[in-house]
Amino acid sequence: MKEEIKKNKEIVENSREDRLLAFLGGKFILYILIVVILLGIAIYLYTEISYIFSPIKAIVSSITTPIILAYAFYYILNPLVNVFSRKMPRFIASLLAIFVGVLVILVVIIGVVPIIVEQTQALVSSLPKYIEIVRGYLATNSENTYVKAVNEYISSNLNTAKISAQAVTIVTNVAQSIASSLSSTASVLMTFPFVLFFLLKDAAKFKIYLINSMPNRLKKSISETIDEIDDKVGSYIQGQMTVSLCLGVMLYIGYNIIGLHYAFSLATIAAFLSIVPYLGPIMAIIPAMLVAASTSGIMVLKMLVIWGIVQFVEGNILSPNIMGKSMDMHPLTVIFVILIGVNILGVVGAILGIPIYSILKVLITKLINTLRSRYNKYYE
C-alpha cells in the first residue's frame, strides 16, 4: 500500500514537472533560455577581463571584415553566377562573375574616380567662397528674425579661417587614418576574394552541411529560417544598390539639364549616401543646396525641383518595383535602426543596420512563433 502511494506521488510530481516544462515551451526552449543566461554571464565576465582576449579579438576582427564584405558582394554577384552557371560549371561561373566585378571596379577607378577627385577638389577649394556668398546674401536680409539667427551662427562658426583650419585638421586625420589602416586593408583585399569565391561556388553546400548537422526535428525550421534571411538580406542589398545607382544617374542628368556645377560629384555623393535609407538623401541634398545657393536663387529652385522629381520617382516607382516589400519596415523603425547602428558601429553601422535588424527580426519572430505554438498546445 505504501509503495503504491509513493508511486502515485512520483507520478503526480512527474506530471507537474512535465506540465511546467510544457508551459515553458519544452526542452528546446529551456535549452535556449539556459544558453541565453550562460551567454549573458559570459558577456559579463568578458567585460571584466577583456584585456585577456585582446589577441583573440584582433584575430576575429581581421576575419570578420573580409567575411562581411564577401557576403555583401555575394548577394550582388550571385544572380550573375546563377545566369552563367546555366551554360558552364559553377566553379567557372564564380570565377567569371568575380572577373566581371573586378573589371567594373577597374573601369570605375580609371574612368570615374579622376573626375570625382577633380570635381571634389574644386568643390572643397570653392567652399569658403560659397560660404561668403551665402553670408553676403544673409547680410542683405539681416532684418529678418530667422535670417539674423542664421547669420549670427555663420559669423561665429563658419568664417573662412575656421573652415580652412577645420579642413586641414580633417585632411590630416583622414591621412593618418588611411596610413594606419593600409596594412589591414591589404590583408582584407587579399582574403576577401577567396572568401567570396567559395561563397559563390559552395553557398548551397554550406547550407546543406549546416542543416544536416542539426537534429532531424529542427532541420525544416532551420532551413526555412536560412531561406527567409537569405531572401530578405539579398533582396535588400541588391535592391538598395540598384535604387542608389538609378538615383545617382537621374540626379546627374537633372543637374546637367539645369547647369548645376559639379554635377557628377554631387550625383555620386547622393548615390553613395542613398545606400542609407531616409537619412542618406537628406545629407546628400546639403552640398547640392550649397552649390546652387552660390549661383542664384533660381538655381536653388531648379535644384529643388530636380531633387523632388527624382525622390518622387524613387519613392513611387523604383523602390516599390525593385525592392517591393522585402524589408516591410516602418520609416520610423528604419531611422531608429540606423541611428542605433551609427552609435554602435559608426558609418558601417548605418550601412549594415537594416540587414542586421532583418536577421534579428526573422530569428526573434521564429522564436516567438515556436513559443506561441508550444503555449497553445499546453492549453489545448
Walking along the chain (380 residues) 10 residues at a time, the average pLDDT comes out as: 51 55 59 78 76 71 78 86 88 90 82 70 69 67 63 59 56 56 65 86 83 80 84 83 89 91 84 81 82 81 91 82 66 80 73 83 80 58
CA 249 remoteness from chain centre: 21
Nearest to 348 by CA among 275, 290, 292: 275
Of the candidates 277, 254, 257, the one whose C-alpha atom is nearest the C-alpha of residue 350 is 277
Q: Distances in Å between the alpha carbon of 198 and those of 20, 99, 203, 205?
A: 46, 14, 7, 10
What is the b/e burial string over 57-84, where b = at least 16 CB atoms within 10 angstroms of the residue's CB? eeeeeeeebbebbbbbbbbbbbebbeeb
Eight-class DSSP state of 88: S
Neighbour count for residue 267 (Cβ, 10 Å): 25
State how far the Cα of 317 lies from the Cα of 309, in Å rounded to an integer: 11
Measure the CA dihedral 114/119/122/126, to 10°.
Answer: -160
Confidence (pLDDT) at 229: 85
Residue 260 backbone class (left: φ over 0; alpha: ψ -120 to 50; beta: rest): beta
pLDDT the model gives residue 256: 92
**Which value, in Å, is the radius of gyration of the alpha carbons in the chain?**
28
